[in-house]
């Protein structure tokens, strides 16, 4: 990576938590290998996670019907976005790698992190109607989810009681990160650290630090290229007929989302440790 600038978006309210230790380990490991690291500690910042009319300065274009995506796009162009949004967007602009560090809450991100995404990833900054997925505005940046779970890995397997972790990751990795063009790296998942021994947790941290030392050489996980879709309203933005036909005799679909009514490809969103 040319710039070697990393942004860690961190969401945990307790400084003595394992998530906090993971954040500190990431900062240490990245700096050791020459990265400049910025941390957005959302709870420490008391980041406002609720989008509203207050996110723009001055009068909206249409005060009678406030369209958030349109109004923030216009405000971005005119320099009228709220200062806290602008500050986070500036961090993102210079970042080559973005790490999201968080505990899995109710099978998703903490609300404060989801709110950060909703407010910071404004139209015109993170995406346009023409610039999505492979052609997204962040296509030269890499992103990585680093998360902890309350349950064991078996609970998040295709046979587990919580269901397949790959299905849970799809909305975050494809619907948010890949949608904005990020090259999405395989997530770092720490299974049930609270139920693990001190020795096991120490090993988790060391493996995380070792991975980050070579993170710039990693290839992103695979998503179905936009070239395989008819990217027109007439075509319904669906897989081209020839692509669907070529997959007729395959046991699995193409991805978690484009499964074609077949089995979901194993580890489509997550490369399990060997």
Domain boundaries along the sequence of the chain: 5-222, 224-274
Q: What is the pLDDT of residue 274?
A: 45
Q: Is the pLDDT of residue 243 over 60?
A: yes
- Over residues 199-218, the pLDDT tens digits come to 999 999 999 999 999 999 99
**Beta bridge pairs of residue 252:** 263
pTM of the model: 0.95
Supply the mean pLDDT for the chain: 95
Cα 188-184-206 angle, rounded to 5 deg: 25
DSSP string, the chain: --S-EEEEEE--S-TTSHHHHHHHHHHHHHHHTT-EEEEEEHHHHT------GGGBSS--S-TTS--HHHHHHHHHHHT-B-HHHHHHHHHHHH-SEEEEEEE-BTTB--HHHHHHHHHHS-BTTTB-SS--GGG-TTTT-EEEEEEE-SS-GGGGSTTSTT--HHHHHHHHIIIIIITTT-EEPPPEEE--GGGS-HHHHHHHHHHHHHHHTTGGGPPPPP---GGGB--STTTTT-B-HHHHHHTTT-SB-SSSS--TTSBPPTTSS-----
Q: What average pLDDT score do residues 178-196 get?
A: 96
Decide: 11 and 43 in contact? Cβ < 8 Å: yes
| pLDDT tens-place string over residues 138-171 | 999 999 999 999 999 999 999 999 999 999 999 9
Contact in structure between 264 and 168 (CB atoms under 8 Å)? no
Give strand pairing partners of 9: 40, 100
Q: How confident is the model over 248-255, as a mean pLDDT?
A: 94
Indicate the CATH number of 5-222 among 3.40.50.10490, 1.10.287.1770, 3.40.50.360, 3.40.50.10610. Answer: 3.40.50.360
Q: Which pLDDT score, from 0 to 100, does residue 1 have?
A: 45
Confidence of residue 273 (pLDDT cuts 50, 70, 90): low
CB 83 within 8 Å of CB 58? no
Using alpha carbons, select from 168, 28, 7 the residue that is nearest to residue 89: 7
**Per-residue DSSP letters for 210-231?**
HHHTTGGGPPPPP---GGGB--
Reference 137, options 73, 186, 233, 84; nearest CA is 73
- Which of 271, 203, 220, 216 has its CA nearest to residue 22? 203
Q: What is the pLDDT of residue 233?
A: 86
By residue count, the chain amounts to 274
Q: For residue 244, what are its two tokens?
A: 């669907």
């Amino acid at each position: 990576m040319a710039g070697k600038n990393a942004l860690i978006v961190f969401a945990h309210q307790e400084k003595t938590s394992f998530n906090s230790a993971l954040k500190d380990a990431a900062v240490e490991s990245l700096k050791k290998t020459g990265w400049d690291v910025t941390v957005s500690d959302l709870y420490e910042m008391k980041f406002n996670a609720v989008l509203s009319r207050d996110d723009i300065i001055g009068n909206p274009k249409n005060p009678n019907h406030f369209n958030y995506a349109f109004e923030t796009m216009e405000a971005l162009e005119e320099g009228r976005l709220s200062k806290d949004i602008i500050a986070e967007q500036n961090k993102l602009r210079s970042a080559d790698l973005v790490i999201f560090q968080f505990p899995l809450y109710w099978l998703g991100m903490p609300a404060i992190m989801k709110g950060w995404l909703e407010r910071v990833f404004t139209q015109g900054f993170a995406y346009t109607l023409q610039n999505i997925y492979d052609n997204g505005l962040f296509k030269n940046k890499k992103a990585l989810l680093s998360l902890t779970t309350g349950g064991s890995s078996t609970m998040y397997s295709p046979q587990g009681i919580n269901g397949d972790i790959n299905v849970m990751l799809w909305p975050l990795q494809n619907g948010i990160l890949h949608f904005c063009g990020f090259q999405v790296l395989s997530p770092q998942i720490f299974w049930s650290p609270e139920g693990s021994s001190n020795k096991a947790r120490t090993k988790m941290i060391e493996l995380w630090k070792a991975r980050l030392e070579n993170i710039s050489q990693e290839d992103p996980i695979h998503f179905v290229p936009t070239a395989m879709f008819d990217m027109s309203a007439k075509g319904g933005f669906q897989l081209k007929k020839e692509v669907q036909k070529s997959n007729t005799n395959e046991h699995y679909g193409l991805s978690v989302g484009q499964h074609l009514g077949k089995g979901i490809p194993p580890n489509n969103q997550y490369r399990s440790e060997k």
